[in-house]
A = this chain, B = another copy of it.
Amino acid sequence: MAVKTQIFELETRHDGEIIDITKNVQQALTSSGLKNGILLVFVPGATGAITTIEYEPGLLHDFPDALDRLIPKDIAYEHHLRWQDGNGHSHVRASFLGPGLNVPFSESKLMLGTWQQIVFLELDNKGRHREIIVQLIGE
C-alpha cells in the first residue's frame, strides 16, 4: 500500500469550457505504478469543478446551458459588488458542483463506464492556468 501524488496542468480558454481529462488521469494512474485502489482528482481553486459526463458535442452545450439557467451570470452577486471581478456566478457554481471526484481503479485501469469521461469544468469568467492534483492510494 502506498500514496502517490501526480499533478498535471491545463490551459483553459473560457467560462463554461468542459475539458476531457480522462487520459490525463489514466496517465497519472499508469505513472503511479499502483494496481488497485482509489484516486482523487482535485482542483485546488474555488472556480473550477470536476465531474463525469458522456463527452459528446450535444452535452457540451446542454450542461453549460443548465448552469446558465440555474445560476445565471447576469444577476446581482455580492461577491461581485465587493471585488468587481465579475465572477460571483463562478464561485457559486463551483461550490455546488464540488472541487473533487473519486474514481476506483483495478488492474491499473479506471473503473469507468464506456460512455463516462472525467471532465474539468472551467467556471471562471476567463481562461486560466490550472494545476490538477491526482492523489492515489492503493497497492
**A 98-139 binary contact with B (CB < 8 Å = 1; else 0):** 111111101000011101100000000000000001010111
Q: How far is the CB of A122 from chain B (nearest CB, A)?
A: 14
Given A42-B104, A62-B92, do A2 and B133 touch, yes or no (CB 8 Å)? no
Query: Assembly of this chain: how many copies?
Result: 3
Report how many residues on chain A are interfacial, defined by Cβ distance under 8 Å.
59
Which residues of chain B are near A81, meaning CB under 8 Å?
58
- Interface residues of chain A, those whose CB is within 8 Å of chain B, are 1-3, 5, 36-38, 40, 42-46, 51-54, 56-59, 61-63, 66, 70-71, 77-83, 88, 91-92, 94-104, 106, 111-113, 115-116, 133, 135, 137-139
